[in-house]
Amino acid sequence: MSHPPRTDRDRRALWRSPLRGPWLTSVFGLVLLFGIPVLFVTGLLSYAAYNPDLSPVNDETPDKGLLGFYLFSWPTDPYWLYRVTQGVHVTLGIVLVPVLLAKLWSVIPKLFAWPPVRSVGHGLERLSLLALVGGALFEFATGVLNVQLDYIFPGSFYPLHFYGAWIFMAALVVHVALRFPRMVRALRSRDLRAELRTRASDTRPEPPDETGLVSPAPAAPTMSRRGALALVGTGSLALLVVTAGQSIGGALRTSALLAPRGRNPGRGPNGFQINKTAMAVGIRARDIGPEWRLVVRGAGRETVLTRERLLRLEQHGAALPIACVEGWSTSDQGWEGVRLADLAALVGHAERPPKVLVESVQRHGSFRSVVLSDSQVRDPRSLLALKVNGADLSPDHGYPARVIVPGAPGVHNTKWVGRLTFGEMA
């Protein structure tokens, strides 16, 4: 502090690792260049799965404008689609965290370059880097916090993550356009197999070049580039092991140490994971007790059903999982109940059942209602479920009745249903 660096070279000399250089940075960048577009596409698919064009009830991102151009009606086949796409999104995002941190470590001298702005063009480039680095940290941080249900950031996760993704991707496209030729040259400058055979004692700094990543005063190596790649790869592999089980299921579920809901949901027919308990959303005993009624409306008609009357209607079964936006999913569960299409027929929609507004009796919390598309209603596997795996639903799984729809996000499989409104009123 008594002798602050006066030149850019002096500042870069503060970062003395002999591993830093265009080649190592480009290796980390190449991994991210393949992984981040997959995250972006699966994220868009997750947003599309909410069918936000159906109703403002479904849309957590107001004023999306042209950013909603890709939206389409989410299909019910294959029924495991959302389970796969969201599982990939969350698992890959967590696995890439060590790579992202290593990439930022490798370029940290550039973040403190002096002077910070040398020209208008350089200033615009630095601004894009601010959006790139800030966007990356924001997207990964909010994604990990959402998986852990730690909503310490202001506002709703959905619009923050959605708009943050578009800002980040715009900055990434600019960065790749500017840096891709340089990255290719850097990757070709050294042989990967040779680097993987080089020990720490034989590791040498990369030749100085215009990137400014190579230290002008490198320290003696304490790790080889092979060791650095192995360290990052091992970190990613470890995160894969403790994350992927929550999406894959089976015996691997016990390895999902990062799963936020506990790895032992109990035994018996209702012994599978849940997102929110009845207590957490304010469900009272009288809300789901003997006085509970299901109100079904549509085509100017209304009918009120007790649970006993629902059980006397024709019952159907479907083997479907529950897959949530946080990345966890269940295995296929055996649901039994009344088809949504049959309930639509009770109120005058027998031929071509329309969309439906599903409303829960829960007192507070998000996703108390949802609009399902006509194609979701018409799928014979879409049920107002009354039982699961041969037993009555437990209160935490939505007793006395819940919706189960193939391919829908978990929050659209509304629990504690109190009203169904079919048609344009939805």
pLDDT tens-digit profile of 354-363? 999 999 999 8
Look at residue 121 and tell me whether its pLDDT is greater than 90.
no
Annotate 34-55 with DSSP letters as a single string.
HHHHHHHHHHHHHHHTT-TTT-
- Look up residue 115 and give its two tokens: 């002077």
Residue 123 has pLDDT above 90, yes or no: no
- Residue 117 pLDDT: 76
pLDDT for the residue numbered 102: 96
| Beta pairing class for 417-422 and 294-298 | parallel
Mean of pLDDT over the chain:
88
Task: Give the pLDDT score at 9.
Answer: 58
Confidence of residue 253 (pLDDT cuts 50, 70, 90): confident
Rg of the chain on CA atoms, in Å: 27
Task: List the beta bridge partners of residue 295.
Answer: 304, 419
Higher pLDDT, 55 or 26: 26
- pLDDT-based confidence at residue 3 (cuts at 50, 70, 90): low
Confidence of residue 227 (pLDDT cuts 50, 70, 90): very high
Q: Report the amino acid identity of residue 424.
A: E
pLDDT of residue 24: 95
Q: Which residues in the chain are classed under CATH 3.90.420.10?
A: 278-422
Distance CA 335, CA 374 (A): 21
pLDDT band at 260 (very low <50, low <70, confident <90, very high): low
Could you read off the pLDDT of 90-110 as tens digits, one per residue? 999 999 999 999 999 998 887
Q: Which spans in 154-204 are helix H?
A: 157-189, 192-197
The pLDDT value recorded for residue 1 is: 46
Look up the pTM and report it: 0.89
Q: What pLDDT is attached to residue 424? A: 74
- Look up tokens 């480009």; give the residue: 26
214-221: average pLDDT: 86
Sign of the C-alpha dihedral computed for residues 373, 375, 377 and 379 taken in this order:
negative
Coil/strand/helix, residue 79: coil
Determine the pLDDT at residue 261. 55
pLDDT over 90 (residue 10):
no
The pLDDT tens digits for 167-199 are: 999 999 988 988 899 999 999 999 999 999 999
Q: Could you tell me what percent of the chain has a pLDDT over 70?
A: 94
pLDDT band at 13 (very low <50, low <70, confident <90, very high): low
Q: What CA–CA distance (Å, rounded) separates 37 from 179?
A: 17
Output 253 or 265, whichever has higher pLDDT: 253
The third-level CATH classification (topology) of the domain covering 278-422 is Sulfite Oxidase; Chain A, domain 2 (3.90.420)
